[in-house]
Amino acid sequence: MNTNGKIKDKKSIVMIQCVGSRNDEHPYCSKMCCAEAIKNALLVKKLNPSSEITILFRDIRTYGFKEKYYRKAREEGVIFLRYDEKNPPEVSKDGSSIKVNVKTPKAGEISIPADLVALSAGIVASHEENEVLAMKLKVPLNDDSFYLEAHVKLRPVDFATEGIFVAGIAHCPKTIEDSISQANAAVSRACTILSKDEVEVEGKTARINIARCTGCGMCIENCAYNAIELIEDRRFGTIAAINQALCKGCGACSGNCRCSAIDILGFSGEQLFEMITARL
């Protein structure tokens, strides 16, 4: 811990948890803040055993094997005070002195003089950058602008787009250990594809009638799997072409084609109309 000698002189340090997270704007937990605050508190105690460290928290979330560090911090004299979401701590400055006022459920209102106040700010996704990459890769984002996996239990590191995987805090806030575990899982999933000589594709995929295609590109905008591109044909000029290995046969391109130039194998427009007519 490189502090350049600034921590040794601090007699009172206050750490405030859940700043900018677990609220209406960012309802999720950043998962690592509590553990990092306790780690820093133990390091400060090692540098300056006489320092008074107070951690203001809503809930201590040192899950897994990190619980032992929470217990050790209590034994080292680190003070933990709970505050309510409706009554967050208030930091005020009077001249050169800093005071932190907090209302605890049991002790009521407490004023803590502090030489240093550290805020545990929540992890926030970069909305603009993630949205640009998501558009390029044709992968989804959740409401908080983190990348969304295909299925949280059945396909936890896969995207719906074949061959693209997710790992780390781009997926959601997590610790280094969790990021490494997820990266190992993503590598394992990638190896299941790379180790095969042949890849089995969907049987029902989209087909393009090049005589009808005008090359407008509407199908490209609606394809969630990045399976369509525009190519130049000697006879018909600019037309759309489908990568059968990427196509999932969802039908989004067919439904949005203004020229009726795209059909799903086994579900052509004529076949669908006949089904509807028979039903009616």
Q: Which two tokens stand for residue 172?
A: 């959601």
User: Which of 175, 179, 168, 169 has the alpha carbon at shortest distance from 33?
Assistant: 175
- Phi and psi torsions of 99, nearest 5°: -125, 140
- Residue 4: predicted pLDDT: 57
Amino acid at 39: K
- Residue 200: predicted pLDDT: 77
- Phi and psi torsions of 30, nearest 5°: -80, -5
- Residue 1: predicted pLDDT: 57
Compute the radius of gyration of the chain from its Cα atoms.
Answer: 28
Amino acid at 6: K
Rounded distance, CA 247 to CA 254, Å? 12
How many Å separate Cα 225 from the centre of its chain? 20
Rounded distance, CA 49 to CA 204, Å? 68
**Residues 169-181 as b or e (16 or more Cβ within 10 Å = b):** bebbbbbeebbee
pTM of the model: 0.74
First to last CA, the chain: 75
Token match 């609220």: residue?
Answer: 23
Rounded distance, CA 69 to CA 75, Å? 10
Q: List the pLDDT tens digit at each of the 280 positions of the chain.
A: 555 567 777 889 999 999 989 998 999 999 999 999 999 999 999 988 999 999 999 999 998 889 999 999 999 999 999 999 888 999 998 878 899 999 998 888 999 999 999 999 999 999 999 999 998 888 899 999 999 999 999 999 999 888 899 999 999 999 999 999 999 999 999 999 899 888 777 778 899 999 999 999 999 989 988 899 999 988 889 999 999 888 888 889 998 999 989 998 888 778 888 888 888 8
Are residues 189 and 158 in contact, defined by beta-carbon separation less than 8 angstroms?
Answer: yes
Domains of the chain listed by start with CATH number: 12-121 (3.50.50.60), 127-195 (no CATH), 206-278 (3.30.70.20)
